[in-house]
Chain A
C-alpha cells in the first residue's frame, strides 16, 4: 500500500472536520483554552489581509473589463475578468478556512496549519501578468 493510501483515512477525517467547521464555526470556541487575545487579533488581521487580497482580485476583474477595452477582444476580457473573480472567491473561502483552522490550532496548542495556497496564488497571478504583458506588447487578441 502506498504512503498516500495509508494516510487517506486521516486526510478524509481532516477534510470532514474542516467542512463541519465551516458550517458550525462556533464549535471552535468550545474547544481547548482561549489563547492570548493578542494572537487571536494577529490571526484576525491575517484574515483581513486575505480578504483585501480577494477584494483586490475582484476589483481587478472589474478593472480589466472596464479599462482594457482598446487592447483586448471581448472574449479575452471576459475570460480574464472571470478568472480573477474566481480567484477572489477562492481567496475568500481560503481566508475563512485558514482563520478557523489557525484559531482551532491555537486553542488546542497544536502547530499552525501550513498551506500551498499562497504559492498557487502567486503562480496564477504571475501567469496572468505575463500573459497581459504579451497581449499589450504584441497587440495580440
Chain B
C-alpha cells in the first residue's frame, strides 16, 4: 500500500519490528547470563545491587522495544527512531557490561 508520497513501505516496518524482537531476545540471554554470574558469585550487597541493575536494564530495554514496535505497527509511514531511544538502548547495554566488570571482582 502506497503512502501520500507514493512510496510502498513493503516489509520494511515488519523487518524492523523483527529486528527489535531479535535484539530483545539477545538482551534477555545476556541478562540471564549476568544473573547466573550473580548466583555463582554468592550474596552480598554488591551482588544485590548488580542484580537489580541488570533487571532494571532488561526491563527498560523491553519497554523501549515494545514502544517502538507499537509505533511501527500503528503508522502507515513510520517516523525515525527517536535519538533518545538509541541513547537509552546504549545505556542498557553498557550497564550490563558494567555489572559484568563489577562481578568479575
Contact present for A25 and B12 (CB under 8 Å): no
Closest residue to B75 on the A side, CB-wise? A37
Q: Is the interface of B mostly helix, strand, loop or mixed?
A: helix
Contact present for A38 and B9 (CB under 8 Å): yes
List B contacts of A78 (CB < 8 A): 104
**Which residue of the partner chain, among A34, A48, A54, contacts B80 with CB atoms under 8 Å?**
A34
For window 66-81 of chain B, which residues contact chain A by CB distance below 8 Å?
A: 77-81
Contact present for A41 and B27 (CB under 8 Å): no
Contact present for B81 and A25 (CB under 8 Å): no
In the bound assembly, the distance between CA atoms of A81 and B79 in angstroms comes to: 38
Closest residue to B14 on the A side, CB-wise? A41
The winner among B20, B81, B97 for most chain A CB atoms within 10 A is B97
**Which residue of the partner chain, among A25, A29, A40, A45, contacts B19 with CB atoms under 8 Å?**
A45
Total A-B contacts with CB atoms under 8 angstroms apart? 116
List A contacts of B84 (CB < 8 A): 25-26
B23-55 Cβ-contact flags toward A at 8 Å (1 or 0): 100110110011011001000000000000000
Closest residue to A87 on the B side, CB-wise? B97
Number of residues of chain A lying within 8 A (CB) of chain B: 42
In the bound assembly, the distance between CA atoms of A81 and B105 in angstroms comes to: 11
Known: A45-B19, A56-B26. A37 touches B78 (CB 8 A): yes
Closest residue to B91 on the A side, CB-wise? A92
List A contacts of B93 (CB < 8 A): 51, 54-55, 58, 88-89, 92
In the bound assembly, the distance between CA atoms of A49 and B22 in angstroms comes to: 9
In the bound assembly, the distance between CA atoms of A52 and B79 in angstroms comes to: 22
List A contacts of B29 (CB < 8 A): 55, 59
Interface segment, one of A7-15, A95-103, A112-120, A124-132: A95-103
Contact present for A66 and B37 (CB under 8 Å): yes
Q: How far is the CB of B86 from chain A (nearest CB, A)?
A: 5
In the bound assembly, the distance between CA atoms of A58 and B31 in angstroms comes to: 10
Q: How far is the CB of A54 from chain B (nearest CB, A)?
A: 5
List A contacts of B101 (CB < 8 A): 82, 85
Closest residue to B104 on the A side, CB-wise? A78
**Which residue of the partner chain, among A42, A45, A58, contacts B96 with CB atoms under 8 Å?**
A58
List B contacts of A62 (CB < 8 A): 30, 33-34, 36-37, 100
List B contacts of A93 (CB < 8 A): 90, 94
